[in-house]
Amino acid sequence: MQPKRINPDTTRLVGLSQIMRLAFNGDNLANLTSELARRIEVNSHDFAAMIDLSVVFQLSGKPEIAIQLQSEALQQYQSFELRSNPTNPSLRVLAIMGPGEVMANTPIEFLVENSDISLSYLYLGEGLPVPSQLPDHDIAFVAVCESDRSQFLLAQLNSIMKHWRRPFINNPARIAQLSRDLVSQKLNSVKGIVASDARRLRRTELADRLKAGVGCFPVIVRPVNSHAGHGLSKLEDCEQATEYLRVHDSQEFFAAPFIDYRSEDGMYRKYRIAVVDGKPFAVHMAISQHWMVHYLNADMLQSQRNRKSEAEFMCRFDLDFAVKHRAALQEMDHRIGLDYYSIDCAETPDEKLLVFELDSGAVVHSMDSVELFPYKVPQMQLVFEAFHQMLRRKSVGAQRLAA
């Protein structure tokens, strides 16, 4: 039950973007941890401090404590806002969140920070009903991301949003269809796209297929609901498959044939594209000698050549990549049907778009060093401004229709 009288300071968050920026820049978060813990000790109803500290614990590798602390806060209070919100915002956005780890929700803060747009949050889910009085807002953003755990909440939100009195971004029913296997089914018939044939398999099914071996290897395997390469492996033979299943105790996996996407120079290039109201924007290009490419483990910090290639990719994106794959990207956007999402992809040797994952919750940010990546800030500002324009356009458009 929410307390009747709440000190506004106890519902104003430092927020994910500020905390993640500290961690990204090498801060061990000890000072922030002490400050938040002191606030909770002084006032056990400082719910914002509890939510912020749960984020700190997650980023510090203490997920169990983090989720417990978050749950304790949300059982008592569900709505928050950012301390950094502008005093006189031009637009008020309400992010509809679900409980859980950081990656359970779109990190929308990065998209609106340092703007004249205010951001508040409403947490919904099991035991967290829609309150009778909603936070004031001009437009809502469904931030809950796809996972097995979120499917029930997304179904609930699909019913709730049909009666929402304000415009909103991202249809929850569409978000629910972003699992790897459903995305593969949606895109495998699109001309110009190679969508790896991801199959969701129970542990025994995967073991039987890998044991048979014929036409199976090499195969990419990962536990269901895993992200950022956790548990992701390329298996070359039955021996590796047996060892993989011995180490990973998940009961369900995604399995897909490995598709070699090396460029002519023998390097792997993986792209992240943000799609805002149908328009694609370059977010990053990671280059590595290894097939499992993630920006943080690629050779971007160490290699000036790689950064130069990424800068050229961004500079020429609208004239090259977006033109080359225009028809495929447009058809993909039509089939996915979301206002905002990201694409992790590559190019095959015959220049088709190889889609790894579609997601509404990827971190799209401008935290990188300006000295090492001077080309990124202006590029990310293009993404952010497009996002702001979409929010304003959809908010005003809905108001006109209502009138």
pLDDT in 10s for each residue of the chain, 403 residues: 454 467 888 999 999 999 999 999 998 999 999 999 999 999 999 999 999 999 999 999 999 999 999 999 999 999 999 999 999 999 999 999 999 999 999 999 999 999 999 999 999 999 999 998 999 999 999 999 999 999 999 999 999 999 999 999 999 999 999 998 999 999 999 999 998 788 889 999 888 888 776 557 899 899 987 766 678 889 988 888 889 999 898 899 989 889 999 999 999 999 999 999 999 999 999 999 988 887 777 889 999 999 999 999 999 999 999 999 999 999 999 999 999 999 999 999 999 999 999 999 999 999 999 999 999 999 999 999 999 999 999 998 655 444 4
Q: Are residues 243 and 220 in the same domain?
A: yes
Place of tokens 């029913």: 173
Same structural domain, 84 and 124: yes
Do 102 and 71 share a domain, yes or no?
yes
Does 234 lie in the same domain as 337?
no
Quick one: tokens of 196?
A: 């790896």
Domain boundary among 211, 228, 257: 257
In a domain, 114, yes or no: yes
If phi > 0 it is left, if psi is from -120 to 50 it is alpha, else beta; for residue 351 that is left
Helices (H) and strands (E) in the chain, counts: 14, 15
- Report the alpha-carbon distance of residue 155 to residue 139 in Å, rounded: 20
CB 149 within 8 A of CB 225: yes
Number of compact structural domains in the chain: 3
pTM over 0.85: yes
Q: Domain of residue 376: give its range.
A: 268-394
Q: What angle, rounded to 10 degrees, do the helices at 30-42 and 47-59 form?
A: 150
Query: Is the same domain home to 17 and 57?
Result: yes
Strands 168-169 vs 117-123: parallel, antiparallel or unpaired: unpaired
- In this structure, the answer to whether residues 138 and 280 fall within a common structural domain is no
**182 found inside a domain:** no
User: Measured between alpha carbons, how far is 4 from 33 in angstroms, rounded to an integer?
Assistant: 28
The rounded radius of gyration (Å) of the Cα atoms in the chain is 22
In terms of domains, do 128 and 236 share one?
no
Looking at the structure, tell me whether residues 16 and 113 fall in a common domain: yes
